[in-house]
Structure 1
């Protein structure tokens, strides 16, 4: 392969893009096609392949499920950090406290959908542990999911590099909740036990069993085409109890996307799940 020959032909890019959408619901925008070649370099090297066209030939010829998984894992956007948008997460703790006040004695349930390598749910667990110690806010059940089995396994292991641990995590929290093991930082068991990690596909799987009070789905739906996004919203609504909250990414909104959620006036940036009766009335009045 010459230095100027592209790793992926237009045909290979189309096939890989279709595979990503089929397996995860995500699309790669035209202005981000370059990510395919960049992301696949490691996969090609590890499997002794020179081009994405050779990769497609192996995928279609041998139906290699492990190879397809590796391709999908490489293409998924894993951008994350500890305490991303800290103010929003702190507001979410206050929203949880308000829900708890409405139904004292019931343990709240929170779902982090699209949790990537775990920084979001671990940040939540730290905030709730601190709120429990300082103000007696009850610790909720936290379930975190991702479409990638490999990513879920890594999140569950709770092992982070020095670069990852320094992204958004204050030193005080780092030494309180993590132990340094060699060149990595490992979540301490008393924090790790607060989170259940599972694999889940928002566009293909049913909602998790049981109702949740709060669901975080940040910077996930942004990559979905409209039909997939509508399916994901239906899954999320099925998972959230009436009056519960949905948190999206900073650049995402339910407005014009779904009638199942409305902006929350008390907590700006959160969306409240419309009760089914109110939703039927709203739809019927159009």
Structure 2
């Protein structure tokens, strides 16, 4: 099946309306690549038929499935290992000193896809056990993809997925084998992590400010206007002395809400405290 310009524009527009993410013309190839199996499984004979169905149908499932198919859910355990080294050796000790009285940290792994980043954080804390003894560590993972969040909540990963970034030592320590399926996160690790479906352009997750927000490799999928809107939301969600960690090559792009950390690359601090309205 070929993708007509009209169908591509319609699908890209509906995708952006639902997610805020821009599917530019140089990425229209993703429509044909990712949605062809989607169409065949549903008996849809052309992309024009799909575009028409998405526009006219009240079938929310069709729209959600289309969104899931088009989203880029690329992730891995301990992705960009240097980031986790910096977290363990510099950023988390700083936060520990700032929260030594409360002995609680709230961390948001935003746009976390299938959850590997959030569980990597949980492993990082668990393996620094003495430092965090008596602390309450809450890690919230979120993503707009329904299927990604479902997998993250289940904590079940294939052999291929655990081989990407996860040393055998940690695999044995923190995962249980599941016959013919892969590996599941052990309950004692999963207890510190929760997941929810969330649009980064909406209100932040409930529960108060976050001491640390990881939002890596997400900004590049949004238009400048949407990036500004996203950064406004992140500024509302972060503690006044918290840290925002972006992906390599990403910046706050002139946002007045954040300033670069002078000591830690890819880390940004809130420029000023703000009132935080949260989702119900």
TM-score by length of structure 2 reads 0.92
Please name the residue that 1:190 is paired with.
Answer: 188
Match of 2:78 among 59, 73, 83: 83
SS of aligned partner of 1:236:
helix
Structure 2: 5+ residue runs without aligned partners?
A: 275-280
1:16 aligns with 2:16: no
Structure that is richer in helix per residue: 1
Task: Show CA shifts across 1:56-75 (max 9, x none).
Answer: 22223332110010100000
Please name the residue that 2:100 is paired with.
Answer: 104
Q: In the aligned structure 2, how far is the partner of 1:49 from the partner of 1:165?
A: 35
1:151 aligns with 2:143: no
Task: Show CA shifts across 1:18-46 (max 9, x none).
Answer: 11111111112322211111010221121
Q: In the aligned structure 1, how far is the partner of 2:70 from the partner of 2:227?
A: 19
Match of 1:248 among 246, 249, 255: 246
Pairwise CA distance, 1:139: 5.3
Q: In the aligned structure 2, how far is the partner of 1:23 from the partner of 1:174?
A: 36
Asked if the contact 2:250–2:266 (Cα under 8 Å) also holds between the matched residues in 1, the reply is: no
Q: In the aligned structure 2, how far is the partner of 1:197 from the partner of 1:239?
A: 16
Match of 2:170 among 156, 169, 173: 173
Q: In the aligned structure 1, how far is the partner of 2:132 from the partner of 2:116?
A: 24
Asked if the contact 1:216–1:246 (Cα under 8 Å) also holds between the matched residues in 2, the reply is: yes
Please name the residue that 1:66 is paired with.
Answer: 61
Asked if the contact 1:40–1:74 (Cα under 8 Å) also holds between the matched residues in 2, the reply is: yes
Asked if the contact 1:129–1:139 (Cα under 8 Å) also holds between the matched residues in 2, the reply is: no
RMSD, aligned CA = 1.5
Q: In the aligned structure 2, how far is the partner of 1:62 from the partner of 1:23?
A: 15
Pairwise CA distance, 1:104: 0.8
Structure 1: 5+ residue runs without aligned partners?
A: 278-286
SS of aligned partner of 1:243:
strand
1:220-231 alignment runs, 5 A limit: 220-231=218-229
SS of aligned partner of 2:78:
coil
TM-score by length of structure 1 reads 0.90
